[in-house]
Structure 1
Amino acid sequence: MGPDIEIRAFQPGDEDALWSILEPVIREGTTYPVDPAASREDAFAYWFAPDKQVFVAELGGEVVGSYYLKPNSTGPAAHVANAGYMVHPDARGRGVARAMALDSFTRARAAGFHAMQFNLVIATNTAALKLWRSVGMEEVGRLTGAFRHPGEGLVDALVMYRLL
């Protein structure tokens, strides 16, 4: 993690900064399974579902990224974590997503999770795929045509996994 990137729990007062991150990613409709027309309230309901812990990344004191951490499943499979990450478009390429990924692995391990699983990494999201592979995530499955991309039609999604 870069010295100027700090990751902390979401706090009241972060809502507008978080929306400035979520909204452009959701509206773009190319990387997340959230309706591009979702309202702020709907997006927050997704991001803050009861099983999720939410964190934010600050770069130079400004909130520029967010991720959630949760169990990927329940019961006997609840020892595998899942996370979702978003970075403000203006902060991309500055190590924010990498810092959040590494932080999420550390927090997941500390919480007793055994592994991390990403269920729907869009195959056309080459920057994310490069990053996830560089931090040890491996493709364990391919879901043919599982994502409706606004420009490319039905595209594959990958399931990725790594032990913690």
Structure 2
Amino acid sequence: MLIRKATPEDWPAIWPFFRDIVTAGETFTYPLELGEEDAKGWWLVPEPSRSVVAVDDVGTVLGTAKMNRNHMGNGSHVASASYMVDPRHSGRGVGRALCEYTVDWARTAGYRAMQFNAVVETNTRAVRLYRSIGFEIIGTLPEGFNHPTEGYVGLHIMHKAL
């Protein structure tokens, strides 16, 4: 698996699983009716932020991540990241590779920490992955997310010092 900078030419491969993940309403706080052009602008972020794709040996996009500063001004030393793995390629280590890549990117870019603002507590696979990489739950917003089948569930704030 190769992780490389995402380009606008990758968007047609990203959009179908991006759309499906967002409209499922189970893991992201994005609007369920998010249109393609807005989604593309939100995900393919300009420098100094970064968007990447994980591809296999024939160039198939397996997943994607975006990383950016979490806050501005005096909080700009904290990074954040978001991840989406094409469900057809889950269970193959794509999410772990993307997460490890973003942590390395943030460390190399001089960030002192990474913070995830809204990890849905029912997204147990993601929580387990982030914890295995060294993130800790530092707080949970009770009923911060309206899950389509579980109802109101918590949103974890997760942190990792770099």
The secondary structure found in structure 1 opposite 2:79 is strand
1:49 CA displacement: 4.7
Q: What are the residue-to-residue correspondences of 1:72-87 with 2, within 5 Å?
A: 72-87=70-85
Match of 1:56 in 2: 53
TM-score, with normalisation over the residues of structure 2?
0.94
The secondary structure found in structure 1 opposite 2:125 is helix
1:141 CA displacement: 0.5
Q: What are the residue-to-residue correspondences of 1:90-101 with 2, within 5 Å?
A: 90-101=88-99
Q: Does 1:152 align with 2:136?
A: no
Match of 1:141 in 2: 139
Match of 2:33 in 1: 37
Match of 2:22 in 1: 26
Match of 1:47 in 2: 43
Whole-angstrom CA distance in 2 between matches of 1:154 and 1:109: 34
Q: What are the residue-to-residue correspondences of 1:115-130 with 2, within 5 Å?
A: 115-130=113-128
Q: What are the residue-to-residue correspondences of 1:7-26 with 2, within 5 Å?
A: 7-26=3-22
Whole-angstrom CA distance in 2 between matches of 1:47 and 1:10: 10
Identity %: 39
Q: Is the 8 A contact 2:43 2:66 kept in 1?
A: yes
Q: Which residue type is aligned with residue 69 of structure 2?
A: P
1:95 CA displacement: 0.2
Q: Is the 8 A contact 1:18 1:63 kept in 2?
A: yes
5+ residue gaps in structure 2?
Answer: none
TM-score, with normalisation over the residues of structure 1?
0.93
5+ residue gaps in structure 1?
Answer: none
Deviations 1:57-95 (A, max 9, x none): 112321111111100001111011000000001011110
Whole-angstrom CA distance in 2 between matches of 1:44 and 1:28: 18
Runs of 4+ in 1 over 4 A off after TM superposition: none
Deviations 1:108-150 (A, max 9, x none): 1111111110000000001111101111000000100111111
Whole-angstrom CA distance in 2 between matches of 1:62 and 1:10: 12
The secondary structure found in structure 2 opposite 1:13 is helix
Q: Which residue type is aligned with residue 4 of structure 2?
A: R
Instruction: State the Cα RMSD in Å.
Output: 1.3
Q: Which residue type is aligned with residue 51 of structure 2?
A: V
Q: Is the 8 A contact 1:123 1:129 kept in 2?
A: yes
